[in-house]
């Protein structure tokens, strides 16, 4: 009789293997989909007599995890020129809005700019650069390889070799630590310079920003962890694009 029971159990296990497996396996926990940073709501967003750069700064200070901002400022004639003198000034006081709605409101306030999402990053850039194949951030990279780079400055170095006729600078002193948690090695294929710069910033952490700014002869990138404040230098001979980084 015992042999008959074992034979019957063996036969059932062959006929219904999934049923037996489901009984033995614990149920899987289904996690809700991760909310996009663009859909996160902000209680208050306030700007007074501001320019677009101030708005990008204010958004970066909201502490939204997963929000990676890339801002390409309209390049000035000279690096000493004050962007506040040549940019539209505006005020915004809006409540209970998504990050997407804030970005729309900012670009509506300065019609020179538009924004787009690229992978995990949000890029804000001049409308005049759209479709401009000579614009640095639109240039295409066939392949680029980084080996054990410690920070964004070193990650930028291959750009100068790929595009020797393009002036590419970096501004970082005084912006606190923006090194990578561990040296970064990667090979990337078929992407634009903008997408490459997005990757450089993404590797810094959960919330980052980068800015392309300066004058026609002194253009530079700045990379920041966390939020940042814009500031106006007391010395007019110094660049007007200095930033104070916040954790």
Structure confidence by residue, pLDDT tens digits, 62-110: 999 999 999 999 999 998 999 999 999 999 999 999 999 999 999 999 9
1 is a domain residue: no
Looking up tokens 């606190």 gives 176
**Within 10 Å of residue 241's Cβ, how many Cβ atoms?**
22
81 CA to centre of own chain? 27
- Tell me the pTM: 0.81
Cα–Cα distance list, 169 to 155, 176, 216 (Å): 12, 18, 11
32 is a domain residue: no
Residues 225, 208 contacting (CB under 8 angstroms): yes
10 is a domain residue: no
Tally of domains within the chain: 1
Better pLDDT: 241 or 124: 124
Please report, rounded to a whole number, the percentage of residues in the chain having pLDDT higher than 70: 78
pLDDT interval class at 30 (50, 70, 90): low
pLDDT interval class at 33 (50, 70, 90): low
3 is a domain residue: no
133 is a domain residue: yes
78 CA to centre of own chain? 27
Listed residue (85, 15, 92) closest to 55, CA to CA? 92
Strands 41-50 and 90-98: antiparallel
3-state helix, strand and coil shares in percent for the chain, rounded to the nearest 5: 30, 30, 35
12 is a domain residue: no
2 is a domain residue: no
- Mean pLDDT, rounded, of the chain: 84
User: And the tokens for 219?
Assistant: 């253009």
- pLDDT tens track for 144-179: 999 999 999 999 999 989 999 998 888 875 556 788
Q: From start to end of 81-198, where are the E strands?
A: 90-98, 113-118, 121-126, 140-149, 169-170, 184-192
Residues 223, 180 contacting (CB under 8 angstroms): no
**151-165, 193-207, 218-232, range with the lowest pLDDT:** 218-232
- pLDDT at residue 21 tops 50: no
Tell me the C-alpha distance between 76 and 216, whole Å. 6
- pLDDT at residue 16 tops 50: no
User: And the tokens for 28?
Assistant: 């899987």
pLDDT at 34 (0 to 100):
74
Tell me the C-alpha distance between 247 and 234, whole Å. 24
29 is a domain residue: no
Domain that holds residue 116: 37-245
């Amino acid at each position: 009789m015992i042999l008959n029971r074992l034979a019957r159990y063996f036969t059932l296990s062959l006929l219904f293997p999934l049923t037996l497996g489901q009984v033995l396996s614990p149920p899987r926990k289904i996690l809700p989909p991760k909310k996009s940073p663009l859909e996160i709501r902000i209680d208050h967003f306030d700007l007074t007599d501001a320019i677009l750069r101030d708005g990008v700064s204010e958004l970066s200070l909201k502490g939204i995890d997963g929000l990676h901002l890339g801002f390409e400022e309209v390049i000035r004639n000279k690096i000493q020129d004050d962007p506040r003198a040549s940019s539209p000034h505006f005020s915004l006081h809006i409540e209970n809005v998504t990050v997407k709605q804030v970005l729309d409101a900012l670009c509506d306030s300065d019609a020179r700019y538009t924004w787009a999402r690229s992978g995990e990053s949000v890029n804000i850039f001049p409308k005049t650069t759209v479709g401009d194949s000579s614009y640095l951030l639109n240039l295409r990279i066939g392949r680029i390889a980084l080996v054990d780079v410690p920070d964004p400055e070193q990650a930028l170095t291959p750009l100068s070799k790929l595009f020797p006729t393009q002036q590419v600078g970096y501004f970082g002193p005084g912006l606190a630590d923006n090194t990578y948690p561990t040296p970064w090695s990667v090979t990337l294929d078929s992407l634009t310079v903008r997408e490459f710069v997005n990757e450089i910033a993404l590797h810094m952490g959960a919330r980052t920003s980068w800015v392309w700014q300066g004058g026609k002869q002194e253009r530079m990138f700045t990379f920041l962890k966390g939020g940042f404040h814009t500031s106006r230098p007391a010395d007019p001979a110094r660049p007007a694009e200095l930033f104070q980084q916040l954790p």
